[in-house]
Structure 1
Amino acid sequence: MSTFSRQDQLPSLPVPSLVETLEKYRDSASALLTADEKKRLDKEIHQFQHSELGTQLQEALEKRAATQKNWVEEWWYNLYTDIREPLAPYVSFGAVNTTYNCVEGGQLSRAADVLHHWASVWDKLRHGKWPVASSRGVTWDMDQFHNVLTSNRTPGRPRDTIDRYFKTKEDGDTPHHVIISCNGCLWKVNILNVDDDTVKSADELYNVLKVIKDNSSDETKTSVTKLTTTNRDVWRNNREDLRRISGANRTYLRDIETAILHMCLTNKNGGNDPQHLISAALQDESWFVWQDKSVCVTVYEDAQVTMQADHSNVDAIVLLQLATHVAARARKHLWQPIKTNANSHFEFPERLVFEIDESLRNSIVEADVNFYRNKKLYRAGVVDFHGYGNDLCRASKVFADTVVQFALQLAFLRAHGSFAPIYETASTRKFYHGRTETVRGCTPQFVKFANALLDNKSSKEEVKRLFDSALDAHNQFMAICMEGRGFDRHLLGLKETLSIMNKGCGPKRALPSFMTDETWKKTGGDGNFLLSTSFLGYMDGNEPGTYGFVTAMRKDGYGCFYKIGKERVTVAVSDWISTRSNLQAFSDSIIWALDALQPYITPAHKL
């Protein structure tokens, strides 16, 4: 079975009933509202449910779903591509892998090995040999694997476009080059042997990379890569200026945008400190990463490796799976190629030298200033908990993911004295081109459990009963969301449908009142989640492997992205500086919360 052979057999994404969605939304929102707010919300939802507008929007959405296998796909990508802020730190995903070690003098060895294995992943996908994902016997959508490499987010107006150039061998020719950056110089490197269509060996790539490093003068001050770090409208204008100046510039931009991936060789050391590396993965130096590319890999002088990727293109879990595959195969020691430059034959790389005018030089300087200003707007760190992990949870027949979700909410409650609207991703990849649905984990059942845990008035047996009730509620909603019956995507669809209707000739109609009053944002509407979280998968044993983060959705909130091992939990956390958030207090509270939950991860009779 080839990688993409089952795509046409996948079911269409369903549209939940209006009544079902509104009931779920009301029940979820009630956990965070006062009694008066609940009464008002009940009234507003009842009015919309029985209104002509509600009926028309639902019918129009169902008609759309009848002609599109995934009715939310276009709208979901638009949510990302509408964003005008710089991709880093506002959209991009930064990741590290704990299996990489620092090797003195090992940069080119590590870079060649990593590049070869990324190219091999691309080649597996090209030949349809990457295994089809499944869960509990159900085939999952593989479209994101088709999109993950050879893609580019191109700045545009009013929104960007995600341009994908990858083709399978069956579908035709596809770009087979990568872009290497070194000292601000850009080089084009073909990764296929032209005589037999195989991926070049790490030995040959080592020699190519050595040529690049030996012939890259310091061009960092005028590197056009810096222009990609700016506001999307600013970058669009600068990109048009680059294209206007010369035909060569247009060719070079095309080379970069159609490349499989971007790799940077830097003369800095990365080190082994996870607290430093996790921040560096998202933003280190302004010339390292061509921000538009779907995958960018940075290899440091000491052979440390980080990755940055465009999160709008694919979900993080897909990126991490591929990055983990590469890291597991890359050598961890210094090695030299079998044949060196003097006695080897290889295809020389092509230098891409952009022509820039004075205006663009000034834009590069300005971009540099803004990059380092933005770099100071947020913090990121790593929380490592070694008290227990998936082994304990499995023995007690408890989902470890749900336990971590409870810990994150308890941590916020302890740090800030209030409950938080929380976003957890649920995969909808059992459906055609499925991505995610939102699990709002702050349920009424969780609120009752958390209050009982902290008030010191309830018996252990009562707290355990409430804990189990909260677990069941969370797990049931996660299952519902994975079946395409959550409510957040449906509510988005209703809003987008109304927007389309209002572009017609008829009278313009307002959003339903429950989507515009203060309860909407208070409970997470329009992305106002104080906790934006995602489970990144289980560790191989107790080694975190590849993990990373995107910044928090709200300026006063936290981003939390975690992996679970047999006896540990690792969380990448982030917040925005100069807000009410407190990364250290929240991180300390995560440890406290995981400890506090441990007594209840047992059968009731063992309390």
Structure 2
Amino acid sequence: MAEAHSAVAFSFAITHDGWDVNFDREVLYLVWESGIRSWKKRLARFRNSIHNGVYPGHLQSLYFLWTVLVAAHFGGVNIPFGLVQKALTILPGASPMWQVVACLLAALTMWLSVIFLMRYLLKLLLMYKGWMYESRAPGSKISMRTMLWASVVKVLSGWNKPRLYSFQGSLPRLPLPAVKDTMRRYLLSVRPLLDAENYLRVERLAKEFEETIAVKLQRYLVLKSWWSSNYVSDWWEEYVYLRGRSPLMVNSNFYGTDTLLRPTSVQAARASTIIHFCLKFRRLIERQELEPIMLQGMVPLCSWQYERLFNTARVPGVETDKLVHYRDSAHVTVLHRGRYYKVLVYSRGRLLNPAEIQVQIQQILDDEAEASPGEARLAALTAGERSHWAHVRQTLFNRGHNRTSLHCLERAAFHVCLDDIEYGFDETDSAKLDRYGRVLLHGSGQDRWFDKSFNLCFSTNGSVGFNTEHTWADAPVMGHLWEYVIWSELEYGYDESGDARGAVEAPPPAPVRLRWELSEPLLAAVDQSHAVAMQLLNDVDLRILMYTAYGKGFMKSCRVSPDAFIQMVLQLAYFRDAGRFCLTYEASMTRLFREGRTETVRSCTLESSAWVRSMLDPNATVEQRMLLFVQASNRHQLGYQDAMAGRGIDRHLFCLYVVSKYLELESPFLQEVFNEPWRLSTSQTPHGQTSMLDLKKYPKCVSAGGGFGPVADDGYGVSYIIVGDDTLFFHVSSKISCPITSSTNFVKQIEKSLQDVHDLFAEYKKTKGK
């Protein structure tokens, strides 16, 4: 009962002595403060909505036009189309005041007409993708068409400083490819993987599909592409992510690492500073003060995915999960030694500074209370099977402390894990780097809340990393946050003792321990999920390669796309490792379109396989190998450009498959397509998305990027990052239980292939010189 009384902010009673009113001033002040923050955000959203709705125009131009029309009207100048006189006919009078109002209506009409014409023109211009296919190599010429296009886009984009969502209404919709074009590209992509007999069989299935049910399926997709903002993204989110019943840990969530430069070794100080700048980034999103990412400084990328970066959780369901995003959250949740805490990060109407948050974090670290029996394993529920977690959530988290604490976790801005172990970079010990990746990918299977949009993980030595739930967005969005946070941290700095900077004028709100009702059925359910998580994480074979022999500088000197260069290296490494070619997945973005996410680049092509065979053919000359390498790189670059331009293969086939399931139409061709395993799944970690990072000032401010688990049981997951002119990182994962894969061996093959390609270019230059 004492807890219940302390939770009451206001009580009212009538007694024999009169009125009896009790209230807690502090709690009422928190309620008032929360309301003020909420109304400020509503006002900011309303203001931003107006700004974005009229972009690339500006309200100041309306005021200027209104002033000009008032001066012209009272000066006896005729207003075009007689707009002022027409406005006066609908107004109740013709006095000078009403004439000023008529001028306002005329100005508004003219202004909106120009604004929407500019918006439509910008949308038409952004549909043009020819600029992507033009070479930007030194000495190459840009076509007059692209130069003219770029000039007009720069004028329209630079008319007014854009906010985060300013371009959303001007972005074109993702185009729907013709079935005939997708079939042609698909058959070309599988040709190097099939012998002549199997290729003829697949070709026959594709032709039959194209001429029969594909016609009907395409009609439904045409209708969806007209009606929805993006004909792929909602189905992709639902069927690829939310309906998946396997654990998020390893199978879906991905991780990111710290930089080589660790500015402090004080865990509480590092945690508080990173938390503070994450929340400042959230404020930039909420106020839309964050500038959108622009390719070539003029072509905007869709910013839709930023909306769910904070205050978001994936809630389990028996058949399908759902993403829940909360409008606001004034706290983060923290896990330390199996105990959960709620930490308020706002006080007296402002965001706490890093020094104040460090006080709160240190209180948690100094808390000597032990976790309740079973509490330390509670997060294993988010690491196990989704249907099991959904059943437990519905039956054992529907009342009391469990319901309150779970709601607090899911509503938090994000989740923080204060680990009581040491991990981080050690350039001289690759085993420590591998362990660092494993800690971030899956931890102990019970110390990450995998349902949250992201978890920040802090080592006892101050190293940091994150684990991200994949449903709400893709890696570039998280990479943007990370670049901002790391750079802001370096600029802000720490004091001489390594503690967070800032003044602590008053004690910040103390952390509140979350309470749980751990019944026997709940503990049994937790143990069941923990067993699944342990089996999964113990099967992960993760290796991280830091390659410093060369990097982007050498690749650019070869006049080859760095991404195509790395993909050719991976093709050679995989063939040496497995003795065959395989279906290869590389993620490419489609954010040039509204609500775009990703598309697949099929990196194994006829050209790449021909080059790989030449590298293993002792009779092939250097000139032959170089010619085939250039052809393979150019073909890969074209495939990447097609994917970005909405001319990919796999998302179109995916949507055709979804429609076929809705209509209960069986297709042998689609079954063939979706039974093919992606044995080599690759992704380049984005780097340098903003101009904030200054590697000349902080040469050690480079991250190893991040990684993910293997997609196929007998395949590899490879993430790589090109962080400078002389540094590359590769994160290679596979399953220990598979007898034909070994991440250690694959890393060795990558190193050998990188060296062989370097030697190929060196030999070619010598031959060319002679």
- TM-score (norm. length: structure 1): 0.91
Shift of 1:500: 1.6
Cα distance change, pair 218–329 in 1 and its aligned pair in 2 (3 A): farther
Q: Do the aligned residues in 2 keep the contact of 1:100 with 1:304 (CA within 8 Å)?
A: no
Q: After superposition, where does 1:241-320 map in structure 2 within 5 Å?
A: 241-246=395-400, 248-272=401-425, 273-320=432-479
1:117 to 277, 284, 296: 277
Q: Does 1:126 align with 2:286?
A: yes
Paired letter, 1:561: S
The code of the aligned residue for 2:468 comes to A
Structure 1 residue 438 displacement after superposition: 0.2
CA-to-partner distance for each residue in 1:34-56, whole Å, 9 max, x for gaps? Answer: 011111122221222222x1111
SS in 2 for 1:20: helix
Which is further off, 591-600 or 422-431? 591-600
2:714 counterpart letter in structure 1: D
1:237 to 376, 391, 395: 391
Q: What secondary structure is seen at the aligned counterpart in 2 of 1:591?
A: helix
Match of 1:350 in 2: 512
Indicate the larger mover: 286-295 or 426-435: 286-295
CA distance in 2, matches of 1:469, 1:220: 62
Q: Relative to 1, partners in 2 of residues 1:235 and 1:74: Cα closer, same or farther, differing over 3 Å?
A: same
Please say if 1:189 is aligned against 2:343: yes
**Cα shift at 1:100:** 5.1
Matched, 1:427 2:589: yes
Distance 1:366 1:221, change over 3 A: farther
Shift of 1:437: 0.3
Report the CA distance shift for 1:467/1:529 in structure 2 as closer, same or farther (over 3 A).
same
Given that residues 89 and 283 in structure 1 are in contact (C-alpha distance below 8 angstroms), is that contact kept between their aligned partners in structure 2?
A: yes
Distance 1:338 1:529 in 2: 48
Distance 2:380 2:189 in 1: 43
Tell me, yes or no, if the aligned pair for 1:155 and 1:236 is still in contact at 8 Å: yes
Larger RCO (CA under 8 A, 6+ residues apart): 1
CA drift at 1:600: 4.7
Match of 2:649 among 487, 500, 503: 487
Q: Is the 2:245–2:385 Cα contact (8 Å) retained in structure 1? A: yes
Following TM superposition, by how much is the alpha carbon of 1:271 offset from its aligned partner in structure 2, in angstroms? 4.2
Counterparts of residues 106-505 of structure 1 (less than 5 Å): 106-136=266-296, 137-166=298-327, 174-195=328-349, 198-215=350-367, 217-219=369-371, 221-223=373-375, 224-246=378-400, 248-272=401-425, 273-330=432-489, 331=493, 334-336=497-499, 344-502=506-664
How many equivalent residue pairs? 581
Counterpart secondary structure, 2:465: strand
1:505 matched to which residue of 2? none
Aligned mates of 2:708, 2:586 — CA distance in 1: 13
Instruction: Give the Å deviation of 1:559.
Output: 0.7
Matched to 1:183, the amino acid is R
Deviations 1:281-321 (A, max 9, x none): 11222442111000101112221212111012211122122
Q: Is the 8 A contact 2:710 2:716 kept in 1?
A: yes
How far is the alpha carbon of 1:235 from its aligned partner? 0.8
Structure 2 CA distance for aligned equivalents of residues 432 and 526 of structure 1: 30
SS of the residue corresponding to residue 516 of structure 1 reads helix
Query: Larger deviation: 432-441 or 250-259?
Result: 250-259
> Aligned AA for 2:457?
T
The answer to whether 1:562 aligns with 2:720 is yes
Whether contact under 8 Å (1:72, 1:489) holds in the other structure is yes
Q: Which moved more, 1:208-217 or 1:106-115?
A: 208-217
* Cα-to-partner distance string for 1:304-351 (whole Å, 9 max, x where unaligned): 21211101221112212212322233347743367898x732222222
- Cα deviation for residue 601 of structure 1 reads 4.8
CA shift, 1:393, in A, is 1.9
Whether the aligned pair in 2 keeps the contact of 1:151 and 1:258 (CA below 8 Å) is yes
Point out where structure 1 has 5 or more consecutive residues left out of the alignment: 167-173, 503-508
Given residue 498 of structure 2, which amino acid in structure 1 is its aligned partner?
A: W
The CA distance in 2 between the partners of 1:401 and 1:474, in whole Å, is 9
Whole-Å separation in 2 of the counterparts to 1:367 and 1:100: 37
Q: Judging changes above 3 Å, is the alpha-carbon distance between structure 1 residues 482 and 526 closer, same or farther for their aligned structure 2 residues?
A: farther
Question: How many angstroms apart in 1 are the aligned matches of 2:210 and 2:517?
Answer: 59
Q: Deviation at 1:462?
A: 1.4
**Aligned-partner SS, 1:346:** coil
Q: How many angstroms apart in 2 are the aligned matches of 1:590 and 1:313?
A: 32
Rounded to whole Å, the distance in 1 between the matches of 2:388 and 2:448 is 17
- Whether the 8 Å CA contact 2:354–2:501 is kept in 1: the answer is no
Contact 2:273 2:500 in 1 (8 A): no
Q: How many percent of aligned residue pairs carry the same amino acid?
A: 25
Residue identity opposite 1:229 in structure 2: A
Q: CA RMSD in A?
A: 2.1
**Alpha-carbon distance in 2 for matches of 1:203, 1:109:** 7
Q: 1:545 aligns with which of 703, 707, 711?
A: 703
In the alignment, the residues of structure 1 paired with residue 476 and residue 311 of structure 2 have an alpha-carbon distance, to the nearest angstrom, of 18
8 Å contact from structure 1 (residues 549, 561) kept in 2: yes
The match for 1:47 is 208
Give the whole-Å Cα distance in 2 for the aligned partners of 1:340 and 1:366: 47
Tell me which moved more, 200-209 or 41-50.
41-50
Give 3-state SS (helix, strand or coil) of 1:7's partner. Answer: coil
Mapped partners of 1:499, 1:230: distance in 2: 28
Partner letter of residue 556 of structure 1? D
Distance in 1 (CA, whole Å) between partners of 2:517 and 2:325 is 26
The whole-number CA distance in structure 2 between the counterparts of 1:346 and 1:310 is: 30
307-316 or 12-21: bigger deviation: 307-316
Which of 270-279 and 419-428 deviates more?
A: 270-279
Aligned partner letter, 2:385 = N
TM-fit CA distance, 1:211:
2.1
CA contact (8 A) 1:7 1:141 kept: yes
**Partner residue of 1:169?**
none
SS at match of 1:90: coil
Match of residue 516, structure 1, among 654, 667, 671: 671
- Residue pair 2:479, 2:686 contacting (<8 A) in 1 also: no
Structure 2 partner of 1:170: none
Task: Tell me whether 7-16 or 346-355 shows the greater mean CA deviation.
Answer: 346-355
Shift in CA distance, 139/527, structure 1 to aligned 2, threshold 3 Å: farther
Query: 1:43/1:337 Cα in 2 relative to 1: closer, same or farther (>3 Å)?
Result: closer
Partner of 1:506: none
Pair 1:370–1:55, CA change in 2 (3 A): closer
Tell me the amino acid that sits aligned with residue 369 of structure 1.
Answer: A
Query: 1:487, 1:368 → 2: CA distance?
Result: 39
**Partner Cα separation in structure 2 for residue 606 and residue 292 of structure 1:** 58
Report how far residue 220 of structure 1 moved: 6.7
Larger CA deviation: 264-273 vs 473-482: 264-273
Contact residue 99 and residue 328 of structure 1 kept, 8 A = no
Indicate the larger mover: 141-150 or 428-437. 141-150
Seen in structure 2, the aligned counterparts of structure 1 residues 499 and 211 have a Cα distance that, compared at 3 Å, is: same
- Quote how far apart the aligned CAs of 1:138 are: 1.1
Following the alignment from structure 2 to structure 1, what is the Cα–Cα distance between the partners of residues 545 and 509?
45
- Quote the residue 1:530 is aligned against: 679
Residue deviations 1:243-270, cap 9 Å, x none?
2342x43222222111110001122222
Instruction: State the TM-score, normalizing by the size of structure 2.
Output: 0.72
